[in-house]
Structures are given as structure tokens and as C-alpha cells.
Copies of this chain bind each other. A is one copy, B any other.
Amino acid sequence: MKQFVVGVDVGGTNVKLGIVDASSRISLRAVFSTRKFISSPRCLIKAISQNVASLLKEGGISKKSVCGIGIGLPGLVDVEKGIVRLLPNIPGWKNVPLKKILKAKTGLPVQIENDVNMMALGEWKYGAGQGYKNLICMTLGTGVGAGLILNNEIYRGPGFAAGEIGHAPLNEHGPRCGCGGYACFERYVGNAALQKWAGKVFHKSNITLEEVFCLAREGNTRALRFWQDVGTKVGTGLIGAINLLNPERIIIGGGVSSSFQFMAPAIRKVIDARVMQTQASLVSIIKAKLGDDAGLVGARVLISSRKY
């Protein structure tokens, strides 16, 4: 019986792999450094393929019992054609027919997807979004992005580029963003901006967000105030999307979501104050449940629901 899915989560730093069993648990894992294999896409694909093989061997899993491989990648992915259009942070990845190559190398069905969409799929079916038909699954980290579940399916947009909530402007004028625009939400609440902000608040330029999280947990007033102010910004950045899409739930994941508990009251306050009544009363804001595993678990959803 085909019961296993191999999940692969490609990040700028690491590639994580996992065997996802029929109950969506990750029974075996592997991880390797992306940086060692950035000389060419072929080199990274080979490493992925070898790691998949080792993982199956380690688990004593025959290919016959594998439904397929689901891969999430940090960039623009043509899910239908199976082509990685562009990975901004991994050199050489432009129009790479990953699905075809990896299928040939492994002899297994392959589905490719944007990493944030993979996370959204995982949280939707097995995490904080279970039972919801319309939700925004946002990641707060180096980048700020979202996967959209609308009318009970993932919404990718015609160019597979939907979900860029981090590039909704917070203001008409503001700081330049890496995307080419300015005053983008990400420029206020992305890791780089938050670290700079924390540096100012604590008069210590090298303070990390983990430290500020720990300080808040210990009850430090300045740290608690910092996360409250971040929550206000996060809430403000969500107003437009909530009024536009009327989602039932917003799931917040990514590294910064470890401080969710300190931000949540401020996020809710902004939403209650500024979002339209119907939309505000329907939406719940919740922390992601699957943590770093969301992408791997999402691979199972991707493979189960594949159309292509």
C-alpha cells in the first residue's frame, strides 16, 4: 500500500527531508546544508535525490509504498508545469524543470510548490487550520509571506505569485523594499527591520530577537512593550487583507511567531478597532501549530491533492 510521502523543504540555509506517514507524522528525518550544493541546480538536485534514497533505505521503505515526493522551494514555482521559475536566494535557479529531473532520478512521482504554500497546506489539513475553508497562513521571519486557502483550496494566482502579503504597503511613502516597492509590510516587521528596531529600543545593536523573546518571557517591561508594538504593526498590515478576503482564520508562523503570545493582544486590538465589523467578528488569529514541520507535513497534502 502506498502510505508514505517524502517531504522536502528547501531553504536558503538547510534542506530538510522527512518521511511523512499516513497519519501525517514524520517518522524519519534528514537535513543537509544548502550552501554545500549551490554550485549548480543539478548539484543540489543530486543531493536531494541521494538523501531521499538514503532516507528510504534507512527506514526500510520500498518505493512501492511511497506515494510521491513533495518539495517546497523558497521562490516562484510553476506548480502545473513543474518548473522552478526563480529562487532569489539560491544562485542559478531560473526556469529549472525540477519535477521532470527529480522524477527521472528517483522513479517516484514528484510535486513542487512554493515553501510558504507548503506550510499553509500542512497547517490547513493537520495544524491550526483544520476544518477551515478560508484562511491566511502567514510566515513572519526573514521574509513575510502567506499561503491563501480560499473556497477550500489553495489559491496560487495565475502566475503562481499570490500570497505576497509582506509586500502590501503600510504607507503611501516609506522605506525602499528589496522587491522594488516601498513602505512594504515586510520592511516594518521582517527580521531585519525588527532587529534594527530592537537594537534601538535596547540600545544594543547586536541584540537578537530570541533574546528579546526571552526577556519578554521573564517579564521585562521594555521587551513586552516591544512585542506589543510589533503586534500593532502586524495587525495594521493585516487590515487590508482581512477586509478584502474575509478569512475565518489567520495563522501566524515563522521564527518571529515564537513571540506570538506577546503580540496577540495588540494584533487583536488593531483588528477590532480598524477592520470592518463582519470581517473582524469572523476572523480568529492563532499561532501556527506545526512549527518547522509544517512544510514537510504539507508535502503529504500536496501529493494527496495533486491535479498535475
Contact = CB atoms under 8 A, between A and B. Distances in A.
A179 interface: yes
A163 B239 contact: no
A133 B51 CA distance: 39
Copies of this chain held together in the complex: 2
A159 interface: yes
A273 B275 CA distance: 28
A172 B169 contact: no
B244 A275 contact: no
A290 interface: no
A218 B129 CA distance: 56
A39 B90 CA distance: 66
B246 A158 contact: yes
Interface residues of A, number: 49
Interface of A: 76, 85, 133-134, 146, 148, 150-151, 153, 155-165, 167-172, 179-182, 236, 239-241, 243-248, 273-279, 281-282
A184 to B, nearest CB: 8
19 contacts: A76-B278, A150-B150, A157-B245, A157-B279, A158-B247, A158-B282, A159-B278, A159-B279, A161-B282, A164-B276, A165-B244, A167-B239, A169-B236, A169-B239, A170-B172, A180-B277, A240-B240, A241-B244, A244-B244
B159 A282 contact: yes
B181 A276 contact: yes
Q: Looking at A162, A244, A282, which has the most chain B CB atoms within 10 Å of its CB?
A: A244
B236 A172 contact: yes
Given A180-B276, A182-B274, 7 more contacts: A157-B245, A164-B243, A169-B274, A171-B172, A180-B277, A181-B275, A244-B245
Nearest to A272: B180
A157 B134 contact: yes
B168 A171 contact: no
A251 to B, nearest CB: 15
A75 to B, nearest CB: 11
